[in-house]
Structure 1
Amino acid sequence: MRLGISTYTYTWAIGVPGKEPKKRMDAKALLQKAIDLGVYCVQFADNLPLHTFADSALRELGAFAQNQGIFTEIGMRGLFPELVLQYIAIAKQLGSPFLRIVVDGPGFHPSPQEIIDRIEDLIPDLKQSNIILAIENHDRFTARTFASIIEKLGTEQVGICLDSVNSMGAGEGIETVVDILAPYTVNLHVKDFQVQRVYHMMGFVVEGRPAGKGMLRTEWLLEKLAPYNKCQSAILELWTPPEENILAIIEKENRWAEESIRYLKPIIS
């Protein structure tokens, strides 16, 4: 299993709407972060959308990654057929074995059956390009709904991108989610977290933590995935809480990334 970083490791540096830094991290700078951290896998997700890149920029990005020995993975948002086809081509061009997707898009929240219908039409293109569509467990559906979608599609060309925190938005904890989705998982998002009761005792707050400093039992999670031998990479993502200004947030984000990778390297080979 490859250990890597993502555009969602450095979410603030890349740019959160309304809180962008003066100089946003670009694709080449993210690859350089991987080199500096000593990890050689980078996942480009929808907060740095590669379909907006010129062909020459994609070629340059691919050449730089290849020259540095960096394995690239591709992600996107929105189950729009024409857009997915664009990303299948990008994934093939950059050597990504799967295409991670969040099915929802702006003003688009498809039903499970609509998801199945749209993906069925894409399966021939996925097969031809030898790309797996990795559906991320975002927070609108339960794990059983995602598993049902995969089962009904009935093809090895579709799997799960398992995020360790997202399903809390659907009212599910990590043990439930992993028990259901581990058999289908081709990509893992390692995102540590802390659940704390608010001061007035009526509710909880979920916040991110550096890997190894929160409630995620990473070694247990890896053990649960191991028997299926499908998960190709473990990608660090961070939910870094904000600070008083963007420079302070980015400094914290960098510190958390370094701390997290130090923790993960000995347990993810």
Structure 2
Amino acid sequence: MKAYQPISRRAFIERSTAGALVLALPEIPAAGSVSRMGVVVHSYGNRWNSKVGSQTYPGFTSALDLLDHCHKIGAGGIQVVIKDWTDDFARSVRTRSETYAMYVEGSIGLPKKADEVAAFDQEISRAKAAGMNIVRTVCSGGRRYEILHSADAFAELRKNALASLQLAEPILRKHKIKLAVENHKDWRAPELVALLKQLDSEWIGATLDFGNNIALVEDPMDVVQALAPYTFSTHVKDMAVEEYANGFLLSEVPLGKGMLDIPKMVAICRQKNPSVTFNLEMITRDPLEIPCLTTDYWATFASVPAADLARALRVARQNKAAAPLPRMSPLSAEDRLAAEERNIIDCLSYSKDRLALK
């Protein structure tokens, strides 16, 4: 039985309305009605710009390398960092992706002040030249509970994020490119929804990460329900948990091997936005520590229901795996590269067999 599926008050109300009847329908669209799953560059965290001299898993040094490889393994597209690209390189990315019939999405930083807008404009222009319609961004440089240590610090982050997005919006509108803000272990879902509503722009929405907000003790299905109406793009992942002294450990695992109801999450996103893209973010690494039983963890949160914490800890106990979560640090560099590739291939197979993304 899947975890994270208790019927909350909100879910009960939603399922009692006519608008929620879609959840009773078959959750997977007909084969061929959606594109193949893409791959986020962060899925190749070990291989991207790798210095390991591997013959089997040579490092990727550019978006073209990533495109070539993802085409070989049957992915439908890529989401990749745009930084220091030239006009010629952007055109090469477009030519290559069109040859492969693959989509390309960008990952881009936001302008922090007015004198950075021109550089942002140039990067968006190159994203357009590369054939992109969507670029993903984040509003923080790390995990909320690790980089922020007070309510005032989070308020400052929110103020700066709003200002940056307001600087970016006219550029996005000019080039007709959508910017998708990720729930990057920084925003709880209602906070990100409030930000997007305040911006009120057709060009700014969400990159919906299926698993990140477990780290903020949110129910991932509630997060999907909240953010799906604003979602342009996704980071698809499955998650597993394990207790530890200060809270719980959190790991990405191959799709279908964790606790998330991936088919239902995909169906909700499709219902809200039929053109949404599904990008795999399978990060092969050691588990992350979520220290939700420490005082510092809670420093930035104004009010979180105690029930959220209780549910997160209960899920960690109820979903204890037969074996510990996978650790990559004890492995050799070659073995880490092999594990990464195996995980991505397994996820793409799942997307074709179970999600009709083929």
Q: TM-score category by the smaller chain?
A: 0.7 to 0.9
Q: How does 1:80-229 map to 2 (within 5 A)?
A: 80=112, 81-82=116-117, 83-105=119-141, 111-198=157-244, 203-229=247-273
Per-residue deviation at 1:163?
A: 0.6
Name the CA distance, whole Å, in 2 between partners of 1:256 and 1:214. 13
Look up the SS of the partner of 1:146 in the other structure: helix
Name the CA distance, whole Å, in 2 between partners of 1:202 and 1:125. 44
Question: What's the RMSD between the two structures over aligned residues?
Answer: 2.4
Do the aligned partners of residues 231 and 196 (structure 1) sit closer, same or farther apart at CA in structure 2, a change above 3 Å counting?
Answer: farther
Tell me whether 246-255 or 78-87 shows the greater mean CA deviation: 78-87
Per-residue deviation at 1:251?
A: 0.4
CA contact (8 A) 1:185 1:231 kept: no
Look up the SS of the partner of 2:181 in the other structure: strand
CA contact (8 A) 1:78 1:105 kept: no
User: What residue in structure 2 maps to residue 24 of structure 1?
Assistant: 59
Looking at both structures, which has the greater relative contact order when contacts are Cα pairs under 8 Å and sequence separation is at least 6? 2
CA contact (8 A) 2:140 2:157 kept: no
2:13 paired with 1:13:
no
Identity %: 24
CA contact (8 A) 1:79 1:105 kept: no
Look up the SS of the partner of 1:116 in the other structure: helix
Name the CA distance, whole Å, in 2 between partners of 1:67 and 1:171. 43
Q: How does 1:46-65 map to 2 (within 5 A)?
A: 50-65=82-97
| Moved segments of 4+, more than 6 Å | 106-109
> Which of 1 and 2 has greater Rg?
2
CA contact (8 A) 1:120 1:153 kept: yes
Tell me whether 160-169 or 115-124 shows the greater mean CA deviation: 115-124
Name which of 334, 341, 355 aligns with 1:247.
334
2:339 paired with 1:257:
no
Look up the SS of the partner of 2:105 in the other structure: strand
Consecutive unaligned residues of structure 2, counting only runs of 5 or more, are: 1-33, 148-152, 286-327
The TM-score, its normalising length taken from structure 2, stands at 0.67
CA contact (8 A) 2:40 2:235 kept: no
Look up the SS of the partner of 1:104 in the other structure: coil
Do the aligned partners of residues 84 and 177 (structure 1) sit closer, same or farther apart at CA in structure 2, a change above 3 Å counting?
Answer: farther
Aligned length: 260
CA contact (8 A) 2:228 2:272 kept: yes
**Structure 1, residues 101-160: CA drift from partner, whole Å, max 9, x if none?**
012249998532332233223222211211111000011221111000110111111100
Do the aligned partners of residues 186 and 196 (structure 1) sit closer, same or farther apart at CA in structure 2, a change above 3 Å counting?
Answer: same
**Structure 1, residues 82-108: CA drift from partner, whole Å, max 9, x if none?**
353233112211111111001224999
CA contact (8 A) 1:77 1:104 kept: no
Name the CA distance, whole Å, in 1 between partners of 2:332 and 2:252. 18
Look up the SS of the partner of 1:13 in the other structure: coil
Name the CA distance, whole Å, in 2 between partners of 1:120 and 1:225. 26
Per-residue deviation at 1:255?
A: 0.6
User: What residue in structure 2 maps to residue 37 of structure 1?
Assistant: 73
User: What residue in structure 1 maps to residue 12 of structure 2?
Assistant: none
Consecutive unaligned residues of structure 1, counting only runs of 5 or more, are: none
CA contact (8 A) 2:110 2:168 kept: no
Per-residue deviation at 1:9?
A: 1.8
Name the CA distance, whole Å, in 1 between partners of 2:173 and 2:356. 29
